[in-house]
Homo-oligomer: A and B are copies of this chain.
Amino acid sequence: MIAYSTSRAPQEIRSFDKSRAEPVSFALKQSQPALFFPAGSEIYGQGEKAGNLYQVEFGAVRVYRLLSDGRRQISAFHLAGETFGFEANSTHHSFAEAIVGTGIHAFCLPTGADFSRELLPLALRGMTRAQEHLLVLGRQNAIERVAAFLVDMAERQGGLNEVELPMSRQDIGDYLGLTIETVSRIFSRLRSKGIIKLRGLRTVEISRLATLEAMCE
């Protein structure tokens, strides 16, 4: 069993990077200042009242659910420019935490129709991603899951062959429905096959992207 609580208070920040951001209207953007969340700090918790929309300025976020015995499933990672936090019934059904030191812009959500129109595409994109992830968890084996994860991370970082993984092996395991040992073994297998190189613990160079992509069709 693993404990997942390391919470510190967020701090206000002033500057952030706006490249590759999902579009959110100017009116919304004015409503709240950007905040800095230290690594491991909670952004919101299950059961809390929802109503804010969050956009990552820099850093990375994990959104997850827990079973009563502590088993954890990360439903999504959110990187710079990505938006998260909208929920049904105005109540958070998940936890959100900063993985590393993370700058987040929070928007207070009015209930107007204009904002519904703006939010719907974001919600639908989130649902499409969740459905893709369901296919991975339900029907792919360990090596296919890790391949899918690496391909996704590479795409979201602009298609570079050098991918930064801000999250731990535990996070990756909890995202892919695997143990840390299995994730580690698969990384080693991909490395020994010459498909990836491990530049550092959190830096992966993808040597043969096409091979990796072929693994998760």
For residue A193, CB closer than 8 A to chain B, the reply is: no
Q: How far is the CB of A54 from chain B (nearest CB, A)?
A: 15
Produce 1/0 per residue, A108-124, CB < 8 A to B: 00000110110111011
For residue A176, CB closer than 8 A to chain B, the reply is: yes
A116 to B122, CA, bound (A): 12
For residue A197, CB closer than 8 A to chain B, the reply is: no
For residue A78, CB closer than 8 A to chain B, the reply is: no
A126 — which chain B residues lie within 8 A by C-beta? 127
Of B131, B137, B175, the residue contacting A93 (CB under 8 A) is B131
Residue of B nearest to A124 (CB): B88
For residue A45, CB closer than 8 A to chain B, the reply is: no
Q: Are A68 and B139 in contact (CB under 8 A)?
A: no
Known: A67-B217, A177-B138. A130 touches B132 (CB 8 A): no
Which chain A residues numbered 67 to 125 have a C-beta less than 8 Å away from chain B? 67-69, 71-73, 75, 86-88, 93-94, 113-114, 116-117, 119-121, 123-125
For residue A170, CB closer than 8 A to chain B, the reply is: no
Q: How far is the CB of A71 from chain B (nearest CB, A)?
A: 4
For residue A133, CB closer than 8 A to chain B, the reply is: yes
Of B88, B117, B121, B130, the residue contacting A134 (CB under 8 A) is B130
Q: Are B113 and A72 in contact (CB under 8 A)?
A: no
For residue A11, CB closer than 8 A to chain B, the reply is: no
12 more contacts with CB within 8 A, not counting A72-B139, A113-B116, A138-B177, are A65-B134, A67-B135, A69-B217, A73-B134, A86-B124, A88-B128, A94-B131, A127-B127, A127-B130, A130-B134, A137-B138, A138-B176
> Residues of A at under 8 Å CB distance from B?
65, 67-69, 71-73, 75, 86-88, 93-94, 113-114, 116-117, 119-121, 123-128, 130-135, 137-140, 174-177, 217
| Closest 10 pairs (CB-CB, A-B) | A138-B177, A130-B130, A88-B124, A116-B117, A137-B137, A73-B135, A113-B117, A68-B217, A73-B138, A123-B123
Q: Pick 23 A–B contacts, CB within 8 A, sort by A.
A: A67-B139, A67-B217, A71-B139, A71-B140, A73-B134, A73-B135, A73-B139, A86-B124, A88-B121, A88-B127, A88-B128, A93-B131, A93-B132, A94-B131, A113-B117, A116-B116, A116-B117, A116-B119, A116-B120, A120-B120, A137-B137, A137-B138, A139-B177
